[in-house]
Amino acid sequence: MKRTCFFVMSAAVLSACAAQPANLRSTSTQPVPNARHAAGTSMGRAELWAATCSRCHNLRAATEFSPAQWAVILNHMRSNAGLSGQDYRMLLEYLAGRKAVETPTTTAQIGSGQK
Amino acid sequence: MRKILTCVITLLLVVLAVPRHASAQQVPREEYEKLKAQLDSLKAEMNEAFDEFDSTIAGIRDSIRFSQHGTTRLLFSGYGVTDFISTRDGESEFEAEVAPMMLWHLNDRIHFAAQTEIEAGEEDLTINLEYANIALHATDFLTFGAGKFITPFSVFLPRLHAAWINKLPSKPMAFTDDGIAPLSSLGAFVRGGFGGAATRMTYDVYVINAPELITTGDRVGQIKSVDGGDERAFGGRFAFVFLKPGIELGGSYQTSEVARLRALDFSFTHAIAPLGGNFDLRFEALRSEPDQNVFAGLVEGTTRSFVKNRYEGGYGQFAYRPTSSKALRNVEASVRYDWVNYPDWRDGPNGDDATRYTAGIAYVFTPSMQIKFGYESRDNKITEDTRSLVLRTAIGF
């Protein structure tokens, strides 16, 4: 019980400290939001990328993988991290610069990957 | 003055002399409207043609991207790790592990993932199929899957156990190979996530081959996953995720004939500017309650019974990376306290409960490649306490 109280208290203190938005700093190994998407509406995607991926591991820059590789990786992460379809498409657009196909409506369309 | 007057009169004469052809050749309003409509229509057709052209070019570009060797729908990756472990009593050993992974992206809806774990250490080479499953993203909020998958029970097993992700060079005792919940299971799952701008709810629900209760040896009372059997276990995890400021709170549950498992998890991951770095705070607690009657039935002729049938454990971990410091921004320091309590039996033996403190420091060469150094101090209830140093190099995909 003491242990639980200690951890809950620690969490509360740190949460209070974290009232300001995430500060993504530029370091040699800590990628920052991709410059080619860093303006305008893409900031939402950059924030989503930073907040979602850092829940488990260090952030990976868009340049680390090709667009095709990102499509494969994000599909895997969609399943692993409980991402919604919308989150998946936003991250795919941000990291791979590609739009995902829309939700298919028939089995045949699912098989072919076409809308 | 005379010059100016002459110019003005000349100009007037010229103006009056010019025939009024302009008004005679003016396009009628009707014709003008017709021409304007035609022009607008042409413009629209042209824009449509441009859009179609752009779309075709984008399609060709995608086709080229997807036909590149090694970057197509199949992606081979994984992670590798080498360890050097030295204990206080003088024993030391090297270990190595590689976990090749194959991801097969049929399209944006269908996905196959498989990973094996090949480990060389003190014992013989061990090869395990960690997972091999196919997933279908049926809707934005629903994914079906089947096969062998990492049991989505708690957080550490499904998301943090990979060596390049784990902050410290060892796993918490509750999540080792002899831990409370089996790493992977055979069965089917439904999972997904939904929510608003910065809040999400994620869910995992699964049915798997029911685990077996271990009835002999040091691990008596623990459960282990099996590849077959008539019985099934059901479980799931639900979590609330607050993307700002990076808080996740989840609960897991699994039930089967032989044991009931429960877990709670909390994590806080955030960059705090005034404190100059990234914070990662995690806490997980698990409990397994083997069924008393089932256990008695499994061991024929025994009168053995639990005094305490709870097998429980967990950890609290804190990591800090000073990203605002030029000198230390690639260094991450971590501390962890973890514990495990085994079932106790009437007339013995009692479980060898243990607590452990671990302090570690990692140098992050790249986001997926680190060298980690850790010191562990483990206090056991029955056996001798241990102190050990672990040096780990890990690289992941």
Q: Which of A55, A87, A109, A115 should be substituted to probe chain B, the one whose Cβ sees the most B Cβ atoms within 10 Å?
A: A55
- The β-bridge relationship of strands B311-321 and B369-380 is unpaired
Predicted local distance difference test score (pLDDT) of residue B17: 55
DSSP string spanning B192-248? EEEESSSEEEEEEEEEEEPPEEP-SSTTTT-EE--S--S-EEEEEEEEEEETTTTEE
DSSP for residue B80: E
Distance from CA of B374 to the nearest CA of A (A): 19
Distance from CA of B209 to the nearest CA of A (A): 20
Cross-chain Cβ contact B268/A86 below 8 Å: no
Whole-angstrom Cα distance, residue B4 to residue A112? Answer: 85
Q: Determine whether A40 is exposed, middle or buried from the number of CB atoms within 10 Å of its CB (0-12, 13-18, 19+).
A: exposed
**Cβ neighbours, 10 Å, residue B4:** 8
Q: Residue A86: closest CA among chain B residues belongs to which residue?
A: B140
Cross-chain Cβ contact B268/A18 below 8 Å: yes
**Cβ neighbours, 10 Å, residue B41:** 10
Cross-chain Cβ contact A30/B367 below 8 Å: yes
Whole-angstrom Cα distance, residue B333 to residue B373? Answer: 10
Contact A44, A90 (CB under 8 A): yes
Q: Rounded to 5 degrees, what are φ and ψ at A48?
A: -65, -45
Strand partners, B388: B87, B376
| Distance, C-alpha B65 to centroid of its chain | 26
- Using one digit for the tens of pLDDT, what is the confidence trace for A58-71? 988 888 888 888 88
- Using one digit for the tens of pLDDT, what is the confidence trace for A98-113? 655 443 333 344 344 4
**Closest Cα to residue B175, out of B315, B324, B337?**
B315
Cross-chain Cβ contact A101/B106 below 8 Å: no
What does the pLDDT average to over A19-31? 40
Predicted local distance difference test score (pLDDT) of residue B16: 58
Whole-angstrom Cα distance, residue A54 to residue A30? Answer: 11
Residues of B in contact with A110 (CB under 8 A): 107, 109-110, 136
Identity of residue A78: R
Identity of residue B106: L
Average pLDDT, chain A: 64
Q: Residue B64: closest CA among chain A residues belongs to which residue?
A: A68
Predicted local distance difference test score (pLDDT) of residue A103: 39
Predicted local distance difference test score (pLDDT) of residue B375: 96
Interface confidence (ipTM) of the complex: 0.76
Q: Determine whether B344 is exposed, middle or buried from the number of CB atoms within 10 Å of its CB (0-12, 13-18, 19+).
A: middle
**Closest Cα to residue A83, out of B148, B262, B239?**
B239
Contact B104, B88 (CB under 8 A): no
Count of all residues that appear for chain B in the document: 397
**The tokens of B48 are what?**
């449509």
Contact A67, B65 (CB under 8 A): yes
Predicted local distance difference test score (pLDDT) of residue A20: 38
Alpha helical stretches, state H, chain B:
2-17, 21-25, 29-66, 292-298
Q: Which residues of chain B have pLDDT under 70?
A: 1-8, 10-25, 62-72, 122, 178, 216-221, 225-228, 292-307, 345-350
Strand partners, B336: B317, B358
Residues of A in contact with B285 (CB under 8 A): 4
Q: Residue A47: closest CA among chain B residues belongs to which residue?
A: B243
Predicted local distance difference test score (pLDDT) of residue B100: 95
Look at residue B275 and give its three-state secondary structure: helix
Whole-angstrom Cα distance, residue B209 to residue B146? Answer: 12
Strand partners, B280: B269, B319
- Using one digit for the tens of pLDDT, what is the confidence trace for A68-77? 888 899 999 9
Predicted local distance difference test score (pLDDT) of residue B213: 77
DSSP for residue B329: T
Give the containing element (helix H, strand E) for B358.
Answer: strand B354-366
Residue position matching structure tokens 């939402």: A44
B140-B141-B146-B150 Cα dihedral, nearest 10 degrees: 110
**The tokens of A16 are what?**
């209070």
Cis preceding-peptide flag for B245 (omega within 30 of 0):
yes
In the predicted model, is pLDDT for residue A14 greater than 80? no
Q: When comparing pLDDT for A48 and B298, which is higher?
A: A48
